[in-house]
Amino acid sequence: MWNKRPSLSIKIWVTIIAAIILSVLFAYSLSQYYYKNLYVKKIKTDLVNEASLLGVDYSGGEITEDFVEKVEWFNSKNDSEVFVVSNPRELSACLPFEIDYDTLISEEERQLLLAGQAVEKEGYEKRFDKNIVAAIIPLNDGDRLEGIIYTYIPVDSITDLLREFAAKWLGAAFLFLIVVIFFMTKWLKKLVKPIKEMEHAANRVSDGDYNIKLQVKSQDEIGSLAQAFNEMAQSIYLEEERKKEFLENVAHELRTPLSYVLGYTQAIKDGIVKDEEEKQKYLQLISRETQRLQKLLRDLMNLAKLDSEQSGLHSTPIAFAQFIEEVLVKYEPIMKERQIRLEVELDPDPIIMGDEGRVEQVLHNILDNAITYTETGGTIYLTLTQQKEECELIIGDTGRGIPALDLPHVMERFYRVNKARSRFDGGSGLGLSIVKKLVEQQKGKITIESEEQIGTKVSIVLPTIVDEWN
């Protein structure tokens, strides 16, 4: 069965044809309205005016031959039929005694005429055997109807005029339709062409070809759609490249510790290592590499959750200064052991809305790096300040610092600085990527400044809860 849906061009053509048909029907209905309500009404008004002007010459009494001749002369010069009727029987003056006689006016019309009102008529008139539009003006002498001026136009003449108009109108409509079809064909081809190009490009993207770019030829919605498509294709391409690079980095990171674990285990298993002290050394190496694998997998799981927005943040108000002090308590022993000085200056006012677990994870990661890469006798300092509706936490140290060329990339996934001079060597290369994601989830910003042999400064800016009483 043929289930192919109609194309966009066919839908547009159907819409245009439907619009033309509706326009024709509307025009026809409008012409009928004008004919019935305006044109015929105007004819009736004109007939009444003509008859009224002729009736001005009647001054009362019996209708004279001179008056009748004037009306007949006017009739010979006019398009409408005009005549005077003075026969009482035709004026329904003998009713109800001669009811078999075909009167020109009815009793109801006679009463209107006696009251001095004009009578308008439209339809079939048996006396003339025609469809007419007519007007009747009374010639009254006091309370006596002496006669009438009867003027009419056959409807056939109006119909002929409308037919002539309709013929010309249909000819013009047919010519208009040809012109519309000609120009619409060209316009539709131009309109549909970029859409077909997008369809072709989308098929290529679905087949894995992301290196494609559409030409933006207009500034309208189609042009915007093409631009959006280009941006989408580029984004997909970059994302695929990032995924590919990410998988390669994961494989590379896993390869080394797994090789160590497998090699050391095989050496112990094969009995190559016989000395107990050396065996313990190998076991320690296996334990170290296993821990490294665990940390790497934990970091990968964290990133996966953050990327899929499944981290499940549970935000609560946090007195930030107090929270930082509680975290620092955990680092006192190791800093004392490493003989690293700690300088703290915390503004007690900032209150942030955040997830305590995630905020603590950020602090741990940055402090771990600061302690790891600060030499014995160095200094780590923390300052917290309130800035309008934000607060800024600075964690700095006097460690080795980061080379200027590496600094812009340290928060990229798996990026590692040259280990010979690295501040972050020994890690998975994911820690700062996780920190950046977590800070952004808290609607904050993180920046890193560093200079070799001088130290590093990490700045975290977070929104705060404004105290309405201040």
Closest by Cα among 372, 378, 376, 377 to 424: 372
Closest by Cα among 86, 76, 136, 82 to 111: 136
Quick one: pLDDT band at residue 370, thresholds 50, 70, 90? very high
The mean-pLDDT minimum among 262-276, 310-324, 348-362, 366-380 falls in 262-276
Same structural domain for residues 354 and 375? yes
- Is the per-residue pLDDT at 454 higher than 80? yes
Closest by Cα among 6, 132, 23, 153 to 80: 153
Q: Which two tokens stand for residue 446?
A: 């993180």
Three-state SS sequence of the chain = CCCCCCCHHHHHHHHHHHHHHHHHHHHHHHHHHHHHHHHHHHHHHHHHHHHHHHHCCCCCCCCCHHHHHHHHHHHHHCCCEEEEECCCCCCCCCCCCCCCCCCCCCHHHHHHHHCCCCEEEEEEECCCCEEEEEEEEEEEECCEEEEEEEEEEEHHHHHHHHHHHHHHHHHHHHHHHHHHHHHHHHHHHHHHHHHHHHHHHHHHHHCCCCCCCCCCCCCCHHHHHHHHHHHHHHHHHHHHHHHHHHHHHHHHHHHHHHHHHHHHHHHHHCCCCCCHHHHHHHHHHHHHHHHHHHHHHHHHHHHHHHHCCCCCCCCEEEEHHHHHHHHHHCCHHHHHHCCCEEEEEECCCCEEEECHHHHHHHHHHHHHHHHHCCCCCCEEEEEEEEECCEEEEEEEECCCCCCCCCHHHCCCCCCCCCCCCCCCCCCCCCHHHHHHHHHHHCCCEEEEEEECCCEEEEEEEEEECCCCCC
Rg of the chain over all Cα atoms, to the nearest angstrom? 50
Name the residue range of residue 297's domain: 221-307
Quick one: pLDDT band at residue 58, thresholds 50, 70, 90? confident
Note the pLDDT of residue 321: 94
- Is the per-residue pLDDT at 322 higher than 90? yes
- Examine residue 178 and state whether it is found in any structural domain, yes or no: no
CATH of the domain at 240: 1.10.287.130
Closest by Cα among 249, 246, 256 to 293: 256
Q: Going by C-beta distance under 8 Å and a sequence separation of 6 or more, which residues neighbour residue 282? A: 264, 267, 268, 273
- Examine residue 211 and state whether it is found in any structural domain, yes or no: no
Residue with more model confidence, 370 or 209: 370
- Examine residue 265 and state whether it is found in any structural domain, yes or no: yes
The winner for highest mean pLDDT among 98-112, 302-316, 439-453 is: 439-453
Note the pLDDT of residue 174: 78
Buried b (16+ CB within 10 A) or exposed e, 11-31: eebeeeeeeeeeeeeeeeeee
Handedness of CA 282, 283, 288, 293 (dihedral sign): positive
- Is the per-residue pLDDT at 333 higher than 80? yes
Q: Which two tokens stand for residue 161?
A: 């005029």
The winner for highest mean pLDDT among 137-141, 303-307, 412-416, 422-426 is: 137-141
Same structural domain for residues 78 and 154? yes
Same structural domain for residues 362 and 420? yes
Closest by Cα among 278, 277, 363, 359 to 318: 359
Domain count, the chain: 3
- Examine residue 181 and state whether it is found in any structural domain, yes or no: no
- Is the per-residue pLDDT at 379 higher than 50? yes
- Is the per-residue pLDDT at 52 higher than 90? no
Last residue of a domain, one of 159, 182, 201: 159
d(C-alpha 115, C-alpha 137), whole Å? 11
Quick one: pLDDT band at residue 340, thresholds 50, 70, 90? very high
Same structural domain for residues 111 and 246? no
Verify cis geometry, omega within 30 degrees of 0, for the bond prior to 96: yes
Q: Are strands 341-346 and 379-387 parallel, antiparallel or unpaired?
A: parallel
CATH of the domain at 368: 3.30.565.10
- Is the per-residue pLDDT at 317 higher than 80? yes
The mean-pLDDT minimum among 48-62, 95-109, 325-339, 452-466 falls in 95-109
Q: Going by C-beta distance under 8 Å and a sequence separation of 6 or more, which residues neighbour residue 369? A: 423, 424, 427, 431, 432
Q: What is the mean pLDDT of the chain?
A: 79
Give 7-40 pLDDT, tens digit per residue.
666 777 778 778 877 877 787 677 767 766 677 7
Last residue of a domain, one of 108, 142, 159: 159
Q: How many Cβ atoms are within 10 Å of 354's Cβ, its own excluded?
A: 26
- The half-sphere exposure of 279 on its side-chain side, counting CA atoms within 13 A, is 10
- Is the per-residue pLDDT at 393 higher than 90? yes
Last residue of a domain, one of 159, 184, 213: 159
- Examine residue 210 and state whether it is found in any structural domain, yes or no: no
Quick one: pLDDT band at residue 428, thresholds 50, 70, 90? low
Q: Which two tokens stand for residue 98?
A: 């001669």
Same structural domain for residues 236 and 129? no
Q: What is the dihedral of CA 405, 411, 412, 417, to 10 degrees?
A: 40
Q: Judge contact between 374 and 341, C-beta under 8 A.
A: no
Same structural domain for residues 144 and 228? no
Residue position matching structure tokens 């590692």: 416
- Examine residue 193 and state whether it is found in any structural domain, yes or no: no
Give 112-160 pLDDT, tens digit per residue.
888 888 888 888 888 778 888 888 888 888 888 888 899 988 877 666 6
d(C-alpha 63, C-alpha 83), whole Å? 12
CA 261 to chain centre: 56
Note the pLDDT of residue 307: 62
Same structural domain for residues 40 and 155? yes
d(C-alpha 438, C-alpha 110), whole Å? 98
Same structural domain for residues 117 and 146? yes
Percent of the chain with pLDDT strictly greater than 90: 15
CATH of the domain at 113: 3.30.450
Quick one: pLDDT band at residue 95, thresholds 50, 70, 90? very low
